Amino acid sequence: MPFVIAIDGPAASGKGTLAKRLADHYGLPHLDTGLLYRAVALALIDAGLSLDDHGAAAKAAQALDPEKLDDPRLRDRAMGEAASRISAVPDVRAGLLLWQRRFAAAPQGAVLDGRDIGTVVCPDAEVKLFITASSAERARRRHRELAGRGEDATFAAILSDIEARDARDSSRTAAPLRMADDAVRLDTTELDPDAAFDEARAIVERGRTDPD
């Protein structure tokens, strides 16, 4: 039986790191669905098109090349902002939905992380986690990450970006960020990566053994 783990949460909450570690632990393929939206945004930028050109964005989503997901530019801070704008376009989300569901339908299962995995993409996932942390802690994590890559950004600017993304992701009409009714919330504000992984793995194990 396929075993699907759906992980949602806001930016810099730690969901991506947890998703990768859980996928490695259980031997499952992993998809960072945020990269799909970043790839669509990058396709528009490379073509010299506006992020507000929703028709072009929808076409880019339908023509998404999986090979493009390895582009290092997708990890840039600016691309995260661009993806947040692109992800609010209903036709983009519709264009990527089937792509994500095909990935989740792998014979052994999969781990997917994003903002609407448990609510829209994989509503029947065996385990759903909602990873969160305070906005200040998420900004500190993102600041360390960017500094480690040599990117110049102030903590105040990053915090402002994160709060703006939270508001945009939670208020959009298409698949807004919210915790699924049957998801388990995991607050990682006070947890280091190993402790967060232990907590997440315990939640998954309970889901695997729960007959309901």
Q: What is the pLDDT along the chain (212 residues), one digit of tens a residue?
A: 679 999 999 989 999 999 999 999 999 999 999 999 999 999 999 999 999 999 999 999 999 988 889 999 998 888 988 998 999 899 999 999 989 999 999 999 999 999 999 999 999 999 999 999 999 999 999 999 888 888 888 999 999 999 998 998 898 888 889 999 999 999 999 999 999 999 999 999 998 876 55
Q: What is the pLDDT of residue 135?
A: 97
Q: What is the pLDDT of residue 1?
A: 66
Residue 78 lies in a domain: yes
The residue segments making up the domain with residue 16 are: 3-207
Q: What is the pTM of this model?
A: 0.91
Could you give the CA distance from residue 192 to residue 21 in angstroms, rounded to a whole number? 14
Please tell me the predicted confidence (pLDDT) of residue 39.
96
212 assigned to some structural domain: no
Residue 5: predicted pLDDT = 98
Three-state SS at 129: strand
In a domain, 130, yes or no: yes
For the record, the structure tokens of 184 come out as: 């388990």
Residue 123 sits in a domain of what CATH number?
3.40.50.300
CB neighbour burial string for 31-57, b if at least 16 within 10 angstroms, e if fewer: bbbbbbbbbbbbbbeeeeeebeeeebb
Q: Does residue 18 sit within a domain? A: yes
Q: For the chain, what is the domain count?
A: 1
Edge-to-edge strand ranges of the sheet holding 127-132: 30-32, 109-114, 3-8, 127-132, 184-187
